[in-house]
Amino acid sequence: MGGEEESGFVSGIESFEKFLEERNYDGLNIIYEIIEGYGHDTVFKPSIRNALEIFYGKSDVGR
């Protein structure tokens, strides 16, 4: 999520993340990240980059 998101959007994402965590799905690993300096329309590229780095083991985010 971009650090410049509107508060209503932030609360919705945080509620959904909490909901998923509480469900305790086996094998589900949730990484919740706020990328500062980006908003709703600009966070896509850095979030994809970070997801690929996490997926391929080149990032410490969520570890």
- pLDDT tens for residues 3-62? 999 888 889 999 999 999 999 999 998 888 999 999 999 999 999 999 999 889 876 665
Do the Cβ atoms of 47 and 54 come closer than 8 Å? no
**N- to C-terminal Cα separation, the chain:** 18
* Residue 43 DSSP code: S
**Which strand (E) or helix (H) includes residue 5?**
none
